């Protein structure tokens, strides 16, 4: 017999400003659940999550929580008042009997030391501290709204492993496809105020959603045809048997009313980049460029050539210097040594990560027009600004709205709209996917596929990188950057490991006061591999294959949604073994990479 659900929402309804946001929402969370909550931006996902957490009261419907169930919700805006350090904040989230070292472990895994003053945290640091507090007590139900926001690739992959090994039931909201696919076993779709559920992970959702929309469109066409037939009868039908005719006319009115009240999916984004004349064949050439701040080297003797039409992804841990590298390549920052040459006839458009180029007091319309009239030129054609804004899901009344009241996703869409309206043959996009929903990500990808110019892309979204870029430039640490052919997955296949986190020592060093540039150590003789190292290098690939096979088997066992209720001991054992195997695999991959680099340096 299946265990009773830990959390249930039934017939939830909520109205904001006279408009129904949620009309008939259902959510059932069983022990060991792994569910993702998906829907367009503005569909009410975060609101429904807050209702589930007990932070918002619905206008109608029921919320039931099994007695004794602990629920943790990842707060978008955590309250740090009363805490001297981030460690104290996270320790406050521990339950009685929890190990105190878990708080420090979580903080360090998320790139914090625990000594930070909570009042001086950046938005990203505050988000990571809140995530550490939510994870700290191992609750029965974990509600996570965009947990990967502000996390770099190493932290995202660490979080995947942590959640996979957790016994807590999970409900996830995220725009990161790979993150959702890796963790979810059920999908709850919130669309036009109503939830629909499939007992498949996110990887099966999009095909199911598209089939649903196709069926809905067929039904709409049937209704349209029926209305047309009834209208034809009304004009040309016989007038006898008046009572029957009156009834039929009433049915026609009812059909028209049903057609009017049918809520269609939210409009789709229409993206098209304004393209300038082609650049020269050479776009960017960097020769042995180096850049350091004090004792820390950001870029060390990098040589790179970008030609017309290239699509280059730039990835690395937070603080690795990705934005600094972009500035060097674009000529906005001079290298300490080496040289950067830009090609001829370049017309770059840069989308910055911080959105600092948006003036809060400007209206949405003025951002696109510069305050000059009501039209914007896209690909040489003049368009009314309201029509162009509709392509990016802005309502006409938002044209006069100040930037300061826009959500994060709306600001990002506005920046993209402005960037794409400017003629360019070089797009430089620094974290363009932040706060975008999945459908908008799809359309941005399609636009980039059709773009004839050159692309430089900084992103932590592994799936987006795989879909868009042709090569990846990866930070290897200590200022060393290496280019790999293909997308992010191809890079891992060639490199043997994903992006590595910077060490705590490295983070502390980056925050230290600027010192004099360090002197380069004298070159040492070529390292040599001893017999033991050679044997280890030879045997490690087989060990890694065995660990990968064991991990795949354990994941298959844990994919059984009823395992926890049926056999908690086996679930716990499999979870522990999975975490251990993943740790051993990561260590083996690190050791293999270290030995392989030694072998190459020795000329072997």
Mean pLDDT of the chain: 80
Residue 42 annotated as part of some ligand binding site: yes
Closest CA to 190 of 74, 395, 52: 52
Residue 504 assigned ligand-binding role: no
Q: Which position has the higher pLDDT, 525 or 185?
A: 185
* CB < 8 Å & 24+ apart, contacts of 556-564: 558/164, 559/185, 561/30, 561/32, 561/33, 561/34, 561/185, 561/186, 561/199, 562/2, 563/32, 564/3, 564/31, 564/32, 564/167
**Distance (Å, rounded) from C-alpha 187 to C-alpha 13?**
20
pLDDT higher than threshold 80 for residue 481: yes
pTM above 0.75, yes or no: no
Quote the percentage of the chain above a pLDDT of 90.
Answer: 29
pLDDT tens digits for range 257-302: 555 555 555 555 555 555 555 567 889 999 999 999 888 899 999 9
Is 276 annotated among the ligand-binding residues?
no
Say if residue 375 carries a ligand binding annotation. no
Q: How far apart are CA 534 and CA 536, in angstroms?
A: 5
- For 256-296, give the DSSP string: HHHHHHPPPPPPPP-----B-S---SEEEEEEEEEEEETTE
Q: How confident is the model at residue 242 (pLDDT cuts 50, 70, 90)?
A: very low
Tell whether residue 321 is among the known ligand binding residues: yes
| 44 labeled part of a ligand binding site | yes
322 is in an annotated binding site: yes
Is pLDDT at 521 greater than 50 in this prediction? no
pLDDT band at 526 (very low <50, low <70, confident <90, very high): very low
d(Cα 166, Cα 146) in Å, to the nearest integer? 18
* 45 marked among binding-site residues: yes
Residue 507: CB atoms within 10 A of its CB come to: 18
Q: Is 538 annotated as a binding residue?
A: no
**Residue 46, annotated as binding a ligand:** yes
pLDDT over threshold 80, residue 403? yes
Answer yes or no: same fold for 7-206 and 531-601. Answer: no
Low-confidence winner among 35-39, 186-190, 354-358 (lowest mean pLDDT): 354-358
Say which residue the tokens 């999945």 belong to. Answer: 438
pLDDT attached to residue 474: 93
373 annotated among ligand-binding-site residues: no
CA 173 to each of CA 183, 290, 375: distance values in angstroms, whole numbers, following the listed order: 11, 40, 37
Name the region of 35 (left: φ>0; alpha: ψ -120 to 50; beta: rest).
Answer: beta
Whether 408 has a binding-site annotation, put simply, is no
The whole-number pLDDT of residue 8 equals: 96
What the block records as the tokens of 510 is 């980056």
Q: Are 445 and 467 in contact (CB under 8 A)?
A: yes
Domain boundaries defined on the chain: 7-206, 217-261, 282-511, 531-601
pLDDT top residue among 517 and 203: 203
Collapse the DSSP code of 469 into the 3-class scheme (helix H, G, I; strand E, B; otherwise coil) and give the result: coil
pLDDT of residue 224: 67
Pairing outcome for strands 381-384 and 7-16: unpaired
Q: Return the CATH number of the domain spanning residue range 531-601.
A: 1.10.287.380
CATH superfamily of the domain spanning 282-511: P-loop containing nucleotide triphosphate hydrolases (3.40.50.300)
Fold of 7-206: Rossmann fold (3.40.50)
Helices 438-450 and 408-421: angle between axes, nearest 10 degrees? 10
State residue 437's pLDDT score: 77
Is there a binding annotation on residue 339? no
Q: How confident is the model at residue 60, as a pLDDT?
A: 94
Query: Which range is least confidently modeled, 389-393, 460-464, 523-527?
Result: 523-527
Find out whether 41 is annotated in a ligand binding site: yes
């Amino acid at each position: 017999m299946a265990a009773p659900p830990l959390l249930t929402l039934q017939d939830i309804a909520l109205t904001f400003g006279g408009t129904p946001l949620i009309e008939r929402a259902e959510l059932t969370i069983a022990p060991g659940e792994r569910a993702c909550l998906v829907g367009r931006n503005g569909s009410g996902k975060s609101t429904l999550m807050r209702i589930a957490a007990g932070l918002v009261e619905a206008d109608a419907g029921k919320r039931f929580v099994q007695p004794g169930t602990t629920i943790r919700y990842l707060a978008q805006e955590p309250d740090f008042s009363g805490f001297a350090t981030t460690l104290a904040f996270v320790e406050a989230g521990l339950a009685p009997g929890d190990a105190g070292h878990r708080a420090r472990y979580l903080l360090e895994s998320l790139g914090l030391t625990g000594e930070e003053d909570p009042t001086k945290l950046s938005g990203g640091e505050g988000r990571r501290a809140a995530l550490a507090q939510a994870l700290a007590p191992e609750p029965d139900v974990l509600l996570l709204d965009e947990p990967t926001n502000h996390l770099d690739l190493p932290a995202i992959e660490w979080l995947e492993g942590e959640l996979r090994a957790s016994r807590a039931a999970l409900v996830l909201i995220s725009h990161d496809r790979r993150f959702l696919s890796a963790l979810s076993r059920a999908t709850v779709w919130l669309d036009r105020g109503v939830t629909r559920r499939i007992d498949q992970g996110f990887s099966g959702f999009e095909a199911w959603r598209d089939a649903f929309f196709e069926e809905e469109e067929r039904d709409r066409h049937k209704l349209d045809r029926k209305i047309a037939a009834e209208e034809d009868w009304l004009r040309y039908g016989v007038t006898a048997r008046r009572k029957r005719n009156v009834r039929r006319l009433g049915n026609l009115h009812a059909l028209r009313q049903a057609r009017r009240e049918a809520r269609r999916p939210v409009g789709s984004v229409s993206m098209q980049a304004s393209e300038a004349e082609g650049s020269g064949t050479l776009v960017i050439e960097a020769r042995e460029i180096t850049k350091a701040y004090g004792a820390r080297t950001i870029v060390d003797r990098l040589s790179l050539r970008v030609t017309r039409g290239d699509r280059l992804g730039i990835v690395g841990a937070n603080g690795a210097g990705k934005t600094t590298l972009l500035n060097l390549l674009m000529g906005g920052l001079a290298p300490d040594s080496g040289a950067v040459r830009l090609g001829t006839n370049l017309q770059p458009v840069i989308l910055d990560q911080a959105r600092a180029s948006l003036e809060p007091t400007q209206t949405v319309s003025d951002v696109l027009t510069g305050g000059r009239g009501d039209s914007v030129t896209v690909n040489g054609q003049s368009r009314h600004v309201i029509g162009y804004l509709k392509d990016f899901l802005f309502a006409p009344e938002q044209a006069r709205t100040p930037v300061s009241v826009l959500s994060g996703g709306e600001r990002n869409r506005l920046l993209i709209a402005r960037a794409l309206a400017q003629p360019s043959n070089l797009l430089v996009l620094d974290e363009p996917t932040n706060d975008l929903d999945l459908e908008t990500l799809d359309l941005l990808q399609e636009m980039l596929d059709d773009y004839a110019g050159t692309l430089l892309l900084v992103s932590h979204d592994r799936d987006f990188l795989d879909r868009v870029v042709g090569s990846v430039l990866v930070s290897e640490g200590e200022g060393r950057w290496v280019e790999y052919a293909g997308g992010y997955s191809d890079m891992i296949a060639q490199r043997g490991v994903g992006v590595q986190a910077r060490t705590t020592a490295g983070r502390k060093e980056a925050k230290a006061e600027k010192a004099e540039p360090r002197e380069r150590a004298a070159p040492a003789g070529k390292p040599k591999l001893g017999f033991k190292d050679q044997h280890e290098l030879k045997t490690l690939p087989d060990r890694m294959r065995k660990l990968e096979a064991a991990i795949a088997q354990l994941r298959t066992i844990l994919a059984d949604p009823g395992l926890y209720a049926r056999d908690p001991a086996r679930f716990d054992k499999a979870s522990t073994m999975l975490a251990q195997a993943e740790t051993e695999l990561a260590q083996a991959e690190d050791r293999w990479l270290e030995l392989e680099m030694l072998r190459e340096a020795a000329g072997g």
